[in-house]
Structures are given as structure tokens and as C-alpha cells.
Amino acid sequence: MTRLDNTVKVNSNVQLGVMDRWSAPKSWLRTLFGAFAFGILSNIVTTTPGLGAEEIEFYYPPFGEFSVSTSSLEAFAKEGKVTKEFSFYAKRVKPQQLAQLRGFLQTKLEVTPTLVSQFTYSAIGENLLKRLGELLLTETRQNGFYALRSALIISATDPEGLTVVNVLRRYPSPTIRLNLSKTQGIIGNLSQLLQKRNAIVVALKQTAEAEAASQPSMDFSQQPDLKRAGSLRSSKQTLTLNDNSRNRRFEVDLYLPQTETKTQNTQKPPFPVIVISHGVAEDRETFAYVAQHLASHGFAVAVLEHPGSDAKKFEQYFAGLTGSPQPTEFINRPLDVKFVLDELQRLSENNPTLKGQLNLQQVGAIGHSLGGYTVLALAGATINFEQIRKDCASNSSLNLSVFLQCRAAELQPNNYPLPDPRIKAVMALNPLNSIILGQKGLSQIQVPVMLVAGTQDIFTPAVPEQILPFTWLQTQNKYLALIENGTHFSAADKISPERKVLPVPSSLIGPDPAIAQSYVNALSLAFFQTHLSQQVQYRPYLSASYAKFISQPQLNLSLIQSFSVEQLSQIFSGAYPRSGTSTKGQPPLNTP
């Protein structure tokens, strides 16, 4: 075979189990390249668009050139047959990993050609494909962007659906060459970040243990169970609001506690108000469980839908009926919440049903993902356009949320009126904020903040999007809840491939989301009772010892109140990449 210099024809051999190798100091280095190469292929095929690549091949010195035909992969995927050429790779992985590989090759992604086309032609989709195209070159060593896009779209039209094999069969090049120099750099960066992440998780758990040991002893088994619903019933009414100034029409579900004279409850109107902001492609139902829980304990809860980035918008977008979500959502979402509060204020003064029911001087907010950004902006964080320009101009990030945050670079730099003084405390679940808000923006927040992170969140990774930002917060009362093995969707309800616009497989939802949701119920109740209702008897629940008490093995929970930038600096040797790529050339962690 001909030597391929610094490129490869994509390797489809040994990826499964690569995560096990991150923790092995030396042994994984010998097999990492082969593993990563298949990982690149799998990532591309499941998100990317053919005439048909007949061969997958790569050159890796000093071992030489390796290849496997797509027909061998197809035979293995469909029949479980290991051909002679494929046996070279098959015998180098564990049987269970080989079974996982076959399962992956057989996996059919249930997406329409329209959905694939819309995504791959969107700003974020194009950026992702161009990044992958730098790694997966065509036969003529060109960026594989156009080839990948076409292979994805055409594969989605196949009766067998979008699968790895179908994408390979429709890739418009005889071979797919892997850019070795870039992939080696990514392997090193990814390895470093995963190892550092694990070290940070260990450090956070040690911090939680130390905080628990120093806190006053309390037998929580003898205290009220905050995971349980309260004694109040609630009513739900749906309001349709129309902000003519922005041409925004959207619905809000208002959960209002119902008090009865026969009860012994101390909660009486006007009730403190909580606003809930959903994430991308979610809706009012995603966090209805939190709304119901808080309402049963005496909070009025308003759950709104953001019309520019909710499930309905994405359903229309993927059906080709509307354009993609715009970067103006970074501005409109906080303004949606402010408009809701204005309307609730008006209704509480004029509507007989709501008159005297709402305390709009005591307002808290909960947000998930992009909704997490939304509530942080409402709490006082400002958009850091200087940081956006700096980080997004040379973005080579492994942090998927960076692609979304960098869309803010399309906004006109301005001092947008996003903060709302009525917001007295915020809880941000899996928020994205490292670039769009950054240290300068987050340091402006003065109200209590709780950040919730999942260690297995691949969309808004815990370290760059929650743990590092936690160290930037200057507010006196701040909390970081870490859910070990938690994913981006652990706290979200009613997320399933059958219901959601975006197909979310169970592997991305993670283990037993009901556990994570019980954590959100308990922590949100303790947080807002303490910092919104000023009920001091709830403060002991905002502790490492309480988190340890309610923690369950599948999703271990840690809660800390103090973790410094100096502690992170020790782990990252003085610098951590804001964009989640490499520490090379990065400023110290405490540099704005």
C-alpha cells in the first residue's frame, strides 16, 4: 500500500471500551489511535451525511498502514461474520466490546431526510460538520464537509435508515482519510480533559466530605422529607401572552397553591413566585414536576415556553416549515421572563382570581441548559462580547455547547437590559455560560445561585460550564450540586424518542432520571425556602450532609458551598481552557 503521509482513510476498528482506557496511564496509548479513529467514524455517521466508500484505511507510524473494507463491516453488522481482514481488529478487543460495536453498526437513527438536511444546513450543523471534515478528508485530501453532509442526507432516505454502514455506502469518495496530525492533538486534549475531569470530581467529593464533617450534626431521617409533595393542592391555569413590542406570543402555565381555612398550613397568599425556563427543544411539560412540587409547598410557579427555541419551533424547523432558531434567542429569552413577570404583576392587581395571590417582590427562577443561561442573565450576569469574539474566532472546542454560545457573536454588541431586580435567587440546571457570560459576566451576580451539574453531561460539560463558573461567582450564597453519572437530561422529565422532537436515546438520558428529579425537588425547595421565603429552618438542608443523606448509588449526589479557583489551578497546573480544548497558551484561571 501507498504511504499516506499525515492522513488516514478512516479506521473503523477499535473504539469500544476507549473510555476504560482513559484511566490506564500507559496501556491505552498503544491502542488509543485505533480506538479514536472508530470513534470519529461513529460520531460522523450518527450526525453526518453518497456514492460509497469502499475502504477505510489509516497510516500510523511506526506500525504502518491499516485498512478494512466497508463490505467487511457490513457483513459483521448484518450477519455477525468476522472476515479475515476484520479479524485483525476483532481479536484485539474484548468480546463484549465487539458486541457493542456490532450493536452500534446496526443502530438505526430514526430521523427524516428533512430533519437531517435542516440540521446540516443550519449554522451550528455546518460548523460541526466542517470541524469533522477537517479530520475526515476525502480521497483528494479535501475537507470532508460536503461529502459528509450528502452521505447523511441520502442515508436518511434509505428504507434501512441512517446507519453507519449506509453512510459509508453513500460517502462520495472511495476512501475516507483521517487527518492524523489533528486527531492526535484531539486525542491528547481529550485524554487530558477526561483525566482532569475525574480528578476534579474526586476533589469535589473530598470537599463535600470535609464540609459534611464540619457541619452541625442533624438526623435528617427525623426531619421533614423535602422530596415529598407538600400538603397544599394547586390549580393550573394556562395564560396566553402576547408581547407586541417583540412580536412574541407564548403560553404560560401558572401553578397556584390552594389554601383552605380548615388546613393548618402556614402558607398564605401572596405567594412567592418561581419562574421556570426550559432548554432547547423542550416545553412547559419538561419541568412541570418541579412546578407541582413547589406549588404544593406554597410557591406560585409560572412555567413558560420560549417560542423561538421550544419544542414546537424545532418541530416546525425540522419539518422545513420555518427557519432555524436565531441568536436573538439569547436576548429574547430573558425578556420573555421579564414580560411574564410584568403581566403577572398586572393580573395580580386587576384579575379577581389572581388579585392578592402573587408576591412579585419575591421571585426566583429555575432554568435548564439554555434556560440556565437565561436565569443567570436575569440574575445579573452580562453577556461578555469581548470573550465571545476572542474564544469563538479560533474555536477548536470539544465542548458542544460552545457551538451554540458562539452564535452570540452574530449579535450586535450592546448593553442589553436582561437583568431583573425582582429576581432574588436562581437555580441553573446544566447551564451553558462559560463563553457567553464568562468570568466577567458571572461575577456581576449578587443574588444566591445554585448550579447543578452532571458528570456525564456531554452537551454542557460539567467542568467548563458549571464547576469552573462556580469559582467565578462572587455572590455570598452559592452552591454547586454534582450528580455523579448524571447526564444533560437526568433532571428533565418526559424526554423520550417517542415524544421529543429531538431523538434522545436512553443512553443519553442516563440511569433512573426519577432519582435526579427527586434531588431537584428537594434542593429547589430548600434553596427557595431559604433564600426567597427567608425560612431559616430550611438552611440545614443546603448542606453536604443532607446531599449525602439523600444520595443514591446510581446517581451519587454531592453539594458544596466552597471550591476555589486555586484548587482548580492545582489540578490544571495553573490554567483551564474556557472552551474545553487545550490548556496550551491559556491564561491563569483567575484571569478575567
For residue 270, cis peptide bond before it (omega within 30 degrees of 0): yes
Which H or E run contains 345? helix 329-350
pLDDT tens digits, one per residue of 158-175: 887 787 778 777 878 777
pLDDT tens digits, one per residue of 108-144: 776 778 778 877 887 767 877 877 777 777 777 788 8
What's the CATH code, domain 215-310+337-571?
3.40.50.1820
C-alpha cell at 189: 486534549
- Residue count of the chain, please give it: 592
DSSP 143: B
Say which residue the cell 425556602 belongs to: 529
Quote the CA–CA distance of 504 and 497 in Å, as a whole number: 5
DSSP 482: E
Instruction: Tell me whether strands 358-368 and 423-429 are parallel, antiparallel or unpaired.
Output: parallel
Asked if residue 58 lies in contact with residue 180, where contact means CB atoms within 8 angstroms, the answer is yes
Question: How much is the mean pLDDT over the chain?
Answer: 81
Q: Rg (Cα) of the chain, in Å, rounded?
A: 25
Report CA dihedral (210, 215, 220, 222) to the nearest 10 degrees: 150
Which residues make up the CATH 3.40.50.1820 domain(s) of the chain?
A: 215-310+337-571
C-alpha closest to that of 590 among 488, 439, 426, 412? 439
Write the DSSP string, 249-262.
Answer: EEEEEEEEEE--TT
Asked if residue 169 lies in contact with residue 70, where contact means CB atoms within 8 angstroms, the answer is yes
Q: What is the amino acid identity at position 124?
A: I
pLDDT in tens, the chain (592 residues): 333 333 333 333 333 333 333 333 333 333 333 333 334 333 333 333 334 677 666 555 555 566 777 788 888 888 888 888 888 777 777 787 788 778 777 777 767 787 788 778 877 678 778 777 777 777 777 888 888 888 888 888 888 778 777 877 787 877 776 665 666 566 556 666 677 888 899 999 999 999 999 988 899 999 999 999 999 999 999 999 999 999 999 999 999 999 874 445 567 899 999 999 999 989 999 999 999 999 999 999 999 999 999 888 887 776 677 777 899 999 999 999 999 999 999 999 999 999 999 999 999 999 999 999 999 999 999 999 999 999 888 766 667 888 899 999 999 999 999 999 999 999 999 999 999 999 999 999 999 999 999 999 989 999 999 999 999 999 999 999 999 999 999 999 976 555 555 666 676 788 899 999 999 999 999 999 999 999 999 999 999 999 999 999 999 999 999 998 888 888 877 555 554 444 444 444 443 3
pLDDT tens digits, one per residue of 237-262: 999 999 999 999 999 999 999 987 44
Asked if residue 190 lies in contact with residue 398, where contact means CB atoms within 8 angstroms, the answer is yes
C-alpha closest to that of 481 among 194, 203, 205, 198? 205
Q: What is the amino acid identity at position 379?
A: A
Asked if residue 144 lies in contact with residue 128, where contact means CB atoms within 8 angstroms, the answer is no
Quote the CA–CA distance of 48 and 152 in Å, as a whole number: 5
Quote the CA–CA distance of 424 and 162 in Å, as a whole number: 47
Quote the CA–CA distance of 178 and 185 in Å, as a whole number: 13
